[in-house]
Amino acid sequence: MSVMMPKPSEAILSRRRAIVEALRQIVPGEGVVDAANEMAVFESDGLTAYRQLPLVVVLPSTVEQVAAVLKYCHGEDIPVVPRGSGTSLSGGALPLEDGVLLVLSKFNRVLEIDYDNRCAVVQPGVTNLGITHAVAGNGFYYAPDPSSQIACSIGGNVAENSGGVHCLKYGLTANNVLGIQFVTIEGEVMRLGGKHLDAEGYDLLGLMTGSEGLLGVVTEVTVRILQKPETARAVLIGFPTSEQAGECVASIIAKGIIPGGMEMMDRPAITAAEDFVHAGYPTDVEALLIVELDGPAAEVDHLLAEVEAIGNANGAVTCRVSQSEEERAAFWAGRKAAFPAVGRISPDYYCMDGTIPRKELPKVLAGMKAMSEKYGLRVANVFHAGDGNLHPLILYDANKEGELHRAEEFGNDILRLCVKVGGVLTGEHGVGVEKRDLMPEMFDEDDMKHQQRVKCAFDDKHLLNPGKVFPTLHRCAELGRMHVHKGQVAFPDLPRF
Amino acid sequence: MNSSARMTYASIEKSILRPETTEDIRDIVAAAVSAQEPLAVEGTGSKRGLGRPVQAARTLSLTKMSGVTLYEPEELVLSAKAGTPIAEIEALVDENNQRLEFEPMDYGPLHGLEAGQGTLGGVVACNLSGPRRLKQGAARDHILGVRAVSGRAEIFKSGGRVVKNVTGYDLSKGLTGSYGTLAVMSEITIKVLPKCETETTLVLRGLTDGEAAGAMAASMGSAAEVSAAAHLPAYVSSRVMDGELGNEAATAIRIDGFGPSVEARATHLGRALEKVGKLERLEPEASRRLWRDVRDVRPFVDGTDKPVWRLSVTPTRSHEIVMSLRMQAAIDAFYDWQGGLVWLRMEAGEPAADLVRETIRRFGGGHATLVRASESVRAATAVFQPQPGPLAGLSRRLKEQFDPAGVLNPGKMG
């Protein structure tokens, strides 16, 4: 592990037996797991390079139990790491040696579906796709669709503000959640929002969404559900250069068209995917766009013709419109299998997640090519072209001395370049432990202090998920000091009070 | 506005501070902290009538922090200083066939002011939205990044200029809707989107509130991708579009998008709605006028300061709330369903806050904000929905973290 975590507290480690017993009083039976072999499945999340056994695993099944566990940990100063399905790609659910791992997987029920108000109330352990399945019979679906949707939980989606391929048109998790119930580290159960819109005070729901488990533990979620579009069709467009593909994306948006999905793959990704699933992708192009249009049939037909024309005007060498639902699924099969496909051509790969202004794509791709040569590692690219979210996959072999380290350095350089061209460190995977130490690339000391002040309002003892997101933990007492005193600040051109 | 409100306004004008840079704002806040003298934070002051009256000797006005600093239509992004007139931004993006998708409403007319006076900072600080709220969100859903000065006299930024960004806490959302009580925003980056090619509105006539609720729920749950839905009961309907709709109750459903798509969806939905009642159809120009009037609460623009409430409630319960209130108080009401709202005017002049909020609580919950009332009524009433104890404690701690000296818009949110 190449990331420093907070030093475990000897005092907590030495009290382990008593802590386990106290937790058993709150969550009886098999809800408390403390045997090392049984805790092994929890030692990492989707970012498997980092592993750590927790102090103890607790699987509560009621909100009262969650509240009691948190209240107990708060009273005893024990860190708590919340976990949903453990699919985080940034180490957000990485356990702590001296911390309780609070697993919400038993909260797996859909509580209410209200079609007239177009919302569903679910427990946090319900999977993203599980929500869609619950409402699909009535022609509805839940819009955000992270690639891990078959496994990832909606509680985890709230914690990470998860995205997916349809964000440009349908928004991220933050835009699709109407309300939550959550428990504070002090064990207080709170409700934000509900079936109505917007908050009655500060937008605490907006702050909680994407807070990576550092502010509270989500125990119920009310999501917006949408009527499934009448139809969806996709078009595959191949280009001799990525610049032309980028121009095509810009022209589509300039025409006023917001596709449901717009994905780009570069040649290494196309080849790997085609060899793996035989989706019918052209393998002699440098860039491939999948543009999906959804909505009423009349609209989709009208816009498909426009998109084809725009593709041709931008130098497309191939252009294929899906003629059936099967063909549309085949177009996507290659893209959705891009990660495992790359997994076939390399023993290991490291998935990055920067976002850039779309127009900077050629510059960033050129930069990555140079880095690839510098580090002696291959890279394949899949790109949510509509919203500028880039997923470079760095190919390496963990068994070769130093390759993991080189891959990580390569990844860090990519993210630095993303920030330099006006983008950000993470578009949808979260900061977690993975990008924690890169935060200063994007934020200065005062920026991060203001973020941590939110943390202090929710959890002033820093007990929830410590060691994640922030490279330096400032004590809340220190953050609370005011640095402005009478006479110390000059304001020459302004009227003095 | 009554005369006492005007006198307060005049006294504020005398000590108005107009920073020109973010650093100026920081210095002013630092001075306010040193002197322990709070500031009223505002743009042009067009929304001064929203929230509780601020007791502050000085006003920090952002009118000189004006101008669009970045606009890249193909990237769907715009940055502007907080004091930039929203009308200027709307005109600029309109030239490029784009718009602010969240249709920010204009409180000016309701408060007896001219329309079109607000700033971008004000729109974000009040988290404004419009009849497209349910489908496309409010200001909170369209803000990408912000630069601001907290009550600690420190400059900070959050977010960025790209749509997909989960780097660090979303302080931009935290400041949206905080009415200038956490920080003074100096520059804001928002998402812009293509304008619809065309729009049309289907209008059902003569429905009761309950029938209208059913028709709107069915329309919004259909594949027609409705972008707005409102019900104007009899006589309220006569106070939009300069009376063109007549007195009969009007249930309006908007469909917008590309020409062929709008035609197909309107025809399809029209067939279903014909079975419900008498159906009319508005052409694009009339449709735009109707929705501007619904958005800006024109039915209650009456030159008075009779209390007006904005209720955010479960849509299908809204007519029950109105029916219950009608039996207990003299009210006038209409429904902006896709905004998730009921607008209420209290005819007797009393806000009846407890009655309104207790009724909401009984019918599915939500919250009520007193968006128009005389200054004295707003000083004596909980303008924003009071929060339960623990939640209020959390909000108070957030305020203390960002503005420990309490110099930014003290009392504005209650």
pLDDT score at B313: 96
Lowest-confidence pick of A311-325, A381-395, B13-27: B13-27
From CA A332, how far away is CA A262, in angstroms rounded?
11
- pLDDT greater than 60 at residue A183: yes
The lowest-confidence range among A21-35, A469-483, B173-187, B232-246 is: A469-483
Q: Look at the alpha carbons of A243, A244, A245, A248 in this order and tell me if their dihedral is positive or negative.
A: positive
Interface test with B, best of A90, A188, A198 (most B CBs within 10 A): A198
What ipTM describes this predicted complex?
0.94
- Cβ <8 Å between A357 and B161: yes
Strand order in the sheet with B228-232: B278-282, B198-205, B250-257, B228-232, B331-336, B341-346, B308-313, B366-372
Pairing of strands B16-17, B183-191: unpaired
Assess whether pLDDT exceeds 80 at residue B3.
Answer: no
Are B162 and A355 a contacting pair at CB < 8 A? yes
Residue B414 has pLDDT above 90, yes or no: no
- pLDDT band (50, 70, 90) for residue A199: confident
How far is residue B178's CA from residue B151's CA, in Å, rounded to a whole number? Answer: 13
Cβ–Cβ contact A483 with B under 8 A: yes
Nearest residue in B to A231, CA atom? B223
CB-based contact, A195 to chain B, within 8 Å = yes
Mean pLDDT of A255-266: 94
| Mean pLDDT of the region A30-47 | 96
The reported pLDDT for the residue numbered A337 is 87
The two three-digit tokens of residue B340, written as one number: 């998730």
CA end-to-end distance (rounded Å), chain B = 21
CB contact under 8 A, A494 and B17: yes
Q: How far is CA B397 from CA A480, B117, B394, in A?
A: 11, 33, 5
Nearest residue of B to residue A418, measured between CA atoms: B162
In chain B, whose CA is at the least distance from the CA of A354? B165
Residue B38 CA to residue A125 CA, distance in Å, equals 46
**Are A180 and A400 in contact, with CB atoms under 8 Å apart?**
no
- Identify the band that residue B4 occupies on the pLDDT scale cut at 50, 70 and 90: very low
Helical (H) or strand (E) element with B400: helix B389-402
Residue B399 pLDDT greater than 50, yes or no: yes
**Interchain CB distance below 8 Å, B261 and A485:** no
Asked if A494 lies within 8 A of B138 by C-beta distance, the reply is no
Q: Across-strand partners of B81? A: B187
Using alpha carbons only, what angle is made at residue B198 by residues A175 and B122, rounded to the nearest 5 degrees?
45
Burial environment of residue B403 by CB neighbours within 10 A (0 to 12, 13 to 18, 19 or more) = buried
Q: Is the pLDDT of residue A412 over 50?
A: yes
Measured from the Cβ of residue A372, the count of other Cβ atoms closer than 10 Å reads 18
pLDDT value for A2 = 62
Q: How confident is the model at residue A156 (pLDDT cuts 50, 70, 90)?
A: very high
Q: Measured between beta carbons, which residues in chain A are less than 8 angstroms from residue B264?
A: 296-299
Angstrom distance (rounded) from CA A354 to CA A391: 7
pTM: 0.95
Mean pLDDT, residues A28-56 taken together: 95
**Residue in B195, B220, B223 closest to A256 by CB:** B195
Per-residue pLDDT tens for A57-96? 999 999 999 999 999 999 999 999 999 999 999 999 999 9
With an 8 Å Cβ cutoff, are A117 and B315 in contact? yes
Compute the distance between CA of residue B234 and CA of residue B209 in angstroms, rounded to an integer.
Answer: 10
- As a whole number of angstroms, the distance between CA A183 and CA A191 comes to 9
Share of residues in chain A with pLDDT > 70 (%): 97
Task: Supply the pLDDT for residue A483.
Answer: 62
Q: What is the DSSP letter of A326?
A: H
β-pairing, A100-103 with A56-58? parallel
A384 in B contact zone (CB under 8 Å) = yes
Residue of B17, B19, B169 lying closest to A454 (CB–CB)? B169
Structure tokens that stand for A335 in this block: 């893209």
Residues A207, B164: C-beta atoms closer than 8 Å: no
**Residue A497 DSSP SS3:** coil
pLDDT tens for B351-369 read 999 999 999 999 999 999 9
Place of tokens 């382990």: A16
Tokens of A427: 């578009």
The pLDDT, as a whole number, for residue A1 is: 47
CA angle, residues B258, B261, B263, in degrees to nearest 5: 105
Tell me: pLDDT of B8 over 50: no
Q: Which of left, alpha, beta for B370 (phi over 0: left; psi -120 to 50: alpha)? A: beta
- The stretch A267-287 carries a mean pLDDT of 94
Instruction: State the Cα angle at A388 between A387 and A391, rounded to 5°.
Output: 115
CB B151 within 8 A of CB B33: yes
Is the Cβ of A446 closer than 8 Å to some Cβ of chain B?
A: yes
State the virtual CA torsion across B75, B79, B85, B87 in degrees, nearest 10. Answer: 10
Q: What is the mean pLDDT of residues B173-196?
A: 97
Chain-centroid distance, C-alpha A288: 24
Mutate which: B127, B166, B319, vs A, most A CBs within 10 A: B166
Long-range contacts of A13-21 (CB under 8 A, 24+ apart): A13/A55, A13/A97, A13/A98, A15/A76, A16/A55, A16/A56, A19/A55, A19/A56, A19/A76, A19/A78, A19/A100, A20/A56
pLDDT digits (tens, 9 = 90+) for B249-280: 999 999 999 999 999 999 999 999 999 999 99
User: What is the reported pLDDT for A379?
Assistant: 96
Burial string for A149-180 (b: 16+ CB within 10 Å, else e) reads bebbbbbbbbbbbbbbbbbbbbbbbbbbbbbb
Q: For the residues A8-36, what does the mean pLDDT come to?
A: 97
pLDDT at B169 over 70: yes
Residue B411: exposed, middle, or buried by beta-carbon count in 10 A (0-12, 13-18, 19+)? middle
- Could you tell me which residues come within 8 angstroms of residue A155 by beta carbon, excluding any fewer than 6 positions away? A82, A84, A104, A107, A123, A124, A125, A218, A219, A221
Quote the CA–CA distance of B311 and A402 in Å, as a whole number: 61
Whether the CB-CB separation of A197 and B340 falls below 8 Å is answered with: yes
Contact B395 A206 (CB under 8 A): no
Q: A419 CB contacts (<8 Å, ≥6 apart)?
A: A354, A425, A441, A442
pLDDT band at B6 (very low <50, low <70, confident <90, very high): very low
Taking the CA of residue B1 and the nearest CA in chain A, the distance in Å comes to 25
Q: Is the pLDDT of residue B2 over 50?
A: no
Closest-approach residue (CA) in chain B for A421: B161
B7 falls in which pLDDT band (50, 70, 90)?
Answer: very low
- pLDDT exceeds 50 at position B173: yes
Can you give the pLDDT at residue A174?
97
> Measured on CA atoms in the order A63, A69, A72, A74, is the torsion positive or negative?
negative
A290 forms beta bridges with A236, A263
How distant, in Å, are the alpha carbons of A342, B313, B342, B383 from that of B359?
58, 11, 13, 16
Q: Do B158 and B43 form a contact (C-beta atoms < 8 A)?
A: no
Spell out the residues 6+ positions from residue B248 whose beta carbon is closer than 8 angstroms to its own.
B205, B206, B234, B237
CB-count exposure of residue B99 (10 Å: 0-12, 13-18, 19+)? middle
- Closest by CA position to A251, among listed A166, A311, A328, A296: A311
Whether pLDDT at A491 is above 50: no
Is the confidence at residue A416, as pLDDT, over 60? yes
Chain A positions touching B182 (Cβ under 8 A) are 202
Q: Do residue B398 and residue A449 have CB atoms under 8 angstroms apart?
A: no
Closest to B324 measured CA to CA, from B348, B299, B344 = B344
Query: Rounded distance, CA A466 to CA A454, Å?
Result: 14
Position A484 confidence tier, pLDDT thresholds 50, 70, 90 = low
Helix (H, G, I), strand (E, B) or coil at B257: strand
Q: In what order do the strands lie in the sheet with B155-159?
A: B68-72, B77-81, B183-191, B143-150, B155-159
Q: What is the DSSP string of B30-75?
A: HHHHHHT--EEEESSSTTTTSSSPP--SEEEE-TTS--EEEEEGGG
